[in-house]
Amino acid sequence: MQLIRTLALAGLLTSGAAIAAPVTYDIDPAHTYPSFEADHMGISIWRGKFNTSSGTVVLDSDAQTGSVNVTVDVNSVDFGHAEMNKKAVSEELFNTAKYPEAVFVGKLGDFSAGAPTTLKGDLTLHGVTAPVALDITHFKCIEHPMLKKQVCGADALGTFQRDAFGLTLGKDYGFDMTVTLRIQVEAVAK
């Protein structure tokens, strides 16, 4: 009888551990847009976004851990201005012929009420890898009413110095090298 109780308890503990396992989410490219803001000679702020991105998020809310791996197609840059888009993909700025992708790999952290509030990791852009930290200003997971799967969404915000990545267009003219990065992301459980 004691053996049966021990086996039953072991089964419950094992099944409980399986429930609390990390969940992997695929980033939904139709609902994910990394966007940015950059100085234009100190007289205005140019805004743009990348229209194509992919990747995964792994989240374990119970353990308060998670990771993010995102790839952005830099050729999908969109300023809403055709001439600026051409200049951005040229050798003058992103040089997408040589560096077609940007990759961010990071860890979710500083959980509050089961939700991460920070994302810290490494951004590889223009052939250079450097640390970038983002604040997660909104995070929520729900059962998607149409997909019948869990979906999580977030808004993240941070800054970095673009010249640290070799993106120096305009620096000689006094452009501020600070870029504000804003990311809206949704990801669907596999």
- All structural domains of the chain, each given as residue ranges with its CATH number in brackets, are 20-189 (2.40.128.110)
Q: Does the pLDDT value for residue 7 go beyond 90? A: no
Query: What pLDDT is attached to residue 5?
Result: 36
**How far is it, in rounded angstroms, from Cα 5 to Cα 17?**
18
Query: What pLDDT is attached to residue 33?
Result: 92
* pTM exceeds 0.75 for this model: yes
Quick: pLDDT tens for 63-122: 999 999 999 999 999 999 999 999 999 999 999 999 999 999 999 999 999 899 999 999
Q: Which residues does residue 47 pair with via DSSP β-bridges, in sequence order?
A: 37
Query: What pLDDT is attached to residue 19?
Result: 53
Q: Does the pLDDT value for residue 2 go beyond 50? A: no
Share above pLDDT 70 across residues of the chain, in percent, rounded to a whole number: 89
